[in-house]
């Protein structure tokens, strides 16, 4: 193939422009990115070679080599991994395939300063080479193809790149950075060692550099003993040494790993630029042996709600990388967890299909799930400062202080996903229920657990009351809450979209039933005194004739019409039968384009309300009846079936 010129994909060009034009506060990450690519390339080779040993050619020891040439002003990162064919080089180094990177690029604002900061934290893979280089040459040959089928890729990091054929005996890839004047400091052994120590110690692959030795300068005049020498210099010895620890982070003892190293490793595997919220690292022994290093991110990714979102667990078998996104190792409701599982028992050639069936995998999945739940329980336990019982507030240890509010942060990001577990993982349902938090009619923040609620229950109260709604405001102001407010009974406000669904699976908490205040007939049990009950019955009796007329007027809209004492200030509200689907869930399903059964609610009216009292004998009876119904629907976030008719009726009355 003779030389060909290709244009970069638009997003790449945009990214490159930014990389090369931004003042860079954190230049050195380019090395982390390129070493990480080299390491991935070696992982890929190792994996493909499981079924084709010939790919190792004559070089089974996988490694990365760093070298520089001060005179030529180049720094070269070489790996003997999988390499690239010409087509792969064109595709992989000319376009952005990763959706994460694409999203990232689309978020750039065009403001150099803030973009530069973003980009510095995110890392842009291969293209970060252009931070320090004004030209990059990539020489590569794919494992298993002929030496003549290598390829050279060259670009100045602007609009396009060139590719041409190359003969390359060595398998793998060399990335040759032609350093910018202001980046010449990277052509230095100490500098490189320092950066590798900082970012790449946990790379399990050896990173090699040629050893250097100090050599005194030559005598200028051999006859003059005291005569000047030429200045000495560090000279290469031809011997290579390993400059990183070359042991995978998770295989090292916990006590040897700093928080910073844990956080760096997380950033590397997750591509997240924020430090994780917390992590857990354990060797599990017993019938199935494995190491788990699991992280909870601080922020939810944008695609958290994508149903196809893959699990964030990387699977290794005896330190050999097997696959990304091993969904069999983590239930879907914990898909936000990132980390590594390294098994000693699984076969190296394990496939995704096999994973689904393996008993060892089931054990690992259970073990990982339990670990994550314990981690969350621990966060929850330390979330609030303990309330003092004796008026003396305990002084919190530094560690406890650091944990304050952590669970609240977690819950705000991932609480809704966690709830999916109630319907997915029955074995852990009880543990999950304890991890739930809600806002309530007396607590505005999402902080009330079922246990907190129970501790505050009124004498004689025998249910945990809740209401579901689309928004917190709708829940808080819903008419169904009125009598509870009046009596000072707390009601949990559930406003996550999954709440309705999740509550299908949870009917009680530690023996106390959950009761929706918008379902079934109104019954406060012992919380209502005899007098109130009697008054309600009498009101129902005297109101009967009106009810009959209301039922007739609303027969197409309402399943039934009855009087209620759950209302204080509102004239009417809608409820559904005990086992009926809530109006809110029915709306949600419809919005999602799914089939929902037609829910005909029950209209409950407040016989004490002035508007309701007016009904009897009114010439506007029919209009008032429909307005009552439609308003009740509006109050809970629904829409009248015929909004224009509603407006007409109201206007007629107003004028």
Contact 199, 29 (CB under 8 A): yes
The least CB distance from residue 260 to ligand ADP, in Å, is 23
Shortest separation between residue 163's beta carbon and ligand ADP, angstroms: 14
- Taking the C-alpha atoms of residue 598 and residue 95, their distance in angstroms, rounded to an integer, is 49
Please select the residue that binds ligand ADP; options are 92, 191, 309, 485, rule is CB under 6 A. 92
In whole angstroms, how close is the CB of 414 to ligand ADP at the nearest point? 25
Q: Out of 21, 98, 229, 486, name the contact with ligand ADP by CB under 6 A.
A: 98
Closest CA to 574 of 520, 513, 645: 520
Q: Choose between 41 and 163: whose C-beta lies nearer to ligand ADP.
A: 41
CA distance 553 to 194: 82
Residue 367's φ and ψ, nearest 5 degrees, are: -60, -45
Q: Phi and psi for 534 in degrees, rounded to 5?
A: -65, -45
Stretch that binds ligand ADP, among 75-83, 230-238, 253-261, 511-519 (CB under 6 A): 75-83
Using rule CB under 6 A, residue 93 touches ligand ADP: yes
> Could you give the CA distance from residue 174 to residue 154 in angstroms, rounded to a whole number?
12
Question: Between residue 485 and residue 514, which ones bind ligand ADP under the rule CB under 6 A?
Answer: none
CB of 50 to ligand ADP, least distance (A): 18
Provide Rg for the chain, Cα atoms. Answer: 34
How many residues does this entry show for the chain?
655
Choose the stretch contacting ligand ADP; rule: CB under 6 A; options: 23-31, 78-86, 310-318, 592-600: 78-86
Contact map string, positions 185 to 214, toward ligand ADP, x by CB under 6 A? ------------------------------
Site string for ligand ADP, 447-486 (x = CB under 6 A): ----------------------------------------
From candidates 29, 84, 243, 502, binder to ligand ADP by CB under 6 A: 84
Distance CA 5, CA 210 (A): 35
Q: Residue 650: CA atoms inside 13 Å, Cβ hemisphere, count?
A: 12
Q: Which is nearer to ligand ADP, 92 or 587 (CB)?
A: 92
Candidates 74-82, 145-153, 502-510, 551-559: pick the segment binding ligand ADP (CB under 6 A): 74-82
| HEC sequence for 231-292 | CCEEEEEEEEEECCCCCCHHHCCHHHCCHHHHHHHHHHHHCCCCCCCEEEEEEECCCCCEEE
Whether 376 contacts 334, CB under 8 Å: no
User: Cβ–Cβ contacts within 10 Å for residue 70, how many?
Assistant: 12
How many binding residues for ligand ADP (CB under 6 A)?
A: 15
Contact (CB, 8 A) for 97 and 103:
no
Minimal distance, residue 65 CB to ligand ADP, in Å: 12
599: left (phi over 0), alpha (psi -120 to 50) or beta: beta
Task: Provide the greatest CA pair distance for the chain.
Answer: 131
Residues 119-148 binding ligand ADP (CB under 6 A) are 125-127
Q: Is 268 in the site for ligand ADP (CB under 6 A)?
A: no
239 CB burial (10 A radius; 0-12, 13-18, 19+): exposed
Q: Shortest distance, CB of residue 174 to ligand ADP, whole angstroms?
A: 9
| Bridge partners for 554 per DSSP | none
- 183 scored as a contact of ligand ADP (CB under 6 A): no
- Shorter beta-carbon distance to ligand ADP: residue 153 or 509: 153
CB of 93 to ligand ADP, least distance (A): 6
Between residue 156 and residue 175, which ones bind ligand ADP under the rule CB under 6 A?
A: 173
Which one of 28, 43, 79, 482 is in contact with ligand ADP (CB under 6 A)?
Answer: 79
Within residues 34-53, the interface with ligand ADP by CB under 6 A covers: 37-38, 41
Minimum distance, C-beta of residue 119 to ligand ADP, in the bound complex (Å): 13
Do 47 and 82 meet the contact criterion of CB atoms below 8 Å apart? no
Q: Provide the minimum distance between the beta carbon of 451 and ligand ADP in the complex, in angstroms, as a whole number.
A: 44
Residue 124 or 502: which CB sits closer to ligand ADP?
124
**Could you list the residues that contact ligand ADP (CB under 6 A)?**
37-38, 41, 79, 81-84, 92-93, 98, 125-127, 173
């Amino acid at each position: 193939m003779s030389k060909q010129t290709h244009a970069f994909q638009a997003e790449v060009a945009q990214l490159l422009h930014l990389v090369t034009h931004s003042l860079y506060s954190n230049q050195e990450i380019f090395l982390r990115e390129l070493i990480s690519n080299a390491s991935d390339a070696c992982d890929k080779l190792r994996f493909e070679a499981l079924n084709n040993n010939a790919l190792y050619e004559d070089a089974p020891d996988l490694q990365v080599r760093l070298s520089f040439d001060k005179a030529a002003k180049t720094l070269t990162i070489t790996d003997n991994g999988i390499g690239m064919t010409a087509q792969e080089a064109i595709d992989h180094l000319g376009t952005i395939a990763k959706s994460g990177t694409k999203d990232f690029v689309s978020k750039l604002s065009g403001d150099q300063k803030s973009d530069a900061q973003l980009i510095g934290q995110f890392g842009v893979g291969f293209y970060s080479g252009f931070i320090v280089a004004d030209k990059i040459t990539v020489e590569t040959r794919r494992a298993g193809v002929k030496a003549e089928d290598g390829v050279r890729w060259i670009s100045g990091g602007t609009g396009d790149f060139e590719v041409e054929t190359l003969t390359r005996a060595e398998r793998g890839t060399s990335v040759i950075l032609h350093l910018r004047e202001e980046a010449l400091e990277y052509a230095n052994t100490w500098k490189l060692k320092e950066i590798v120590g900082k970012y790449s110690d946990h790379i399990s692959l050896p990173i090699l550099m040629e050893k250097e030795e100090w050599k005194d300068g030559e005598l200028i005049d051999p006859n003059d003993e005291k005569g000047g020498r030429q200045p000495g210099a560090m000279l290469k010895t031809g011997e290579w040494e390993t400059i990183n620890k070359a042991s995978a982070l998770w295989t090292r003892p916990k006590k040897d790993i700093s928080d910073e190293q844990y956080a760096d490793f997380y950033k590397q595997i997750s591509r997240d630029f924020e430090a994780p919220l917390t992590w857990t690292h354990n060797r599990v022994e017993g019938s199935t042996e494995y190491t788990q290093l699991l992280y909870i991110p601080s922020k939810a990714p944008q695609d958290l709600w994508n149903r196809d979102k893959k699990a964030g667990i990387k699977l290794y078998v005896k330190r050999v990388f097997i696959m990304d996104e091993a969904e069999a190792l983590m239930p879907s409701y914990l898909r936000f967890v990132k980390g590594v599982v390294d098994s000693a028992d699984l076969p190296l050639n394990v496939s995704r299909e096999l994973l689904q069936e393996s008993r060892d995998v089931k054990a690992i999945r259970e073990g990982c799930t339990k670990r994550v739940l314990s981690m969350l329980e621990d966060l929850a336990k330390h979330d609030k400062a303990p309330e003092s019982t004796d008026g003396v507030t305990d002084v919190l240890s530094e560690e406890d202080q650091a944990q304050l509010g952590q669970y609240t942060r977690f819950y705000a990001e991932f609480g809704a996903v966690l709830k999916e577990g109630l319907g997915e993982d029955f074995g852990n349902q009880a543990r999950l229920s304890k991890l739930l938090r809600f806002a309530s009619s007396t607590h505005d923040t999402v902080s009330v657990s079922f246990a907190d609620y129970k501790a505050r229950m009124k004498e004689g109260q025998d249910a945990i009351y809740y209401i579901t709604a689309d928004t917190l405001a709708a829940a808080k102001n819903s008419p169904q809450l009125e009598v509870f407010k009046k009596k000072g009974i707390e009601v949990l406000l559930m406003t996550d979209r999954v709440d309705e669904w999740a509550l299908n699976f949870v009917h009680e908490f530690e023996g106390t039933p959950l009761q929706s205040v918008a379902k079934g007939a109104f019954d406060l049990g012992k919380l209502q005194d005899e007098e109130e009950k009697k008054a309600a019955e009498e009101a129902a009796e005297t109101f009967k004739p009106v009810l009959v007329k209301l039922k007739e007027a609303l027969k197409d809209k309402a399943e039934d019409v009855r009087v209620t004492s759950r209302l204080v200030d509102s004239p009417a509200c809608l409820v559904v039968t005990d086992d009926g689907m809530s109006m809110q869930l029915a709306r949600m399903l419809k919005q999602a384009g799914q089939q929902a059964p037609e829910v005909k609610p029950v209209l409950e009216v407040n016989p004490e309300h002035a508007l309701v009292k007016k009904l009897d004998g009114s010439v506007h009876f029919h209009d008032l009846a429909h307005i009552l119904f439609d308003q009740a629907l509006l109050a809970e976030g629904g829409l009248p079936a015929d909004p224009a008719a509603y407006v007409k009726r109201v206007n007629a009355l107003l004028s």
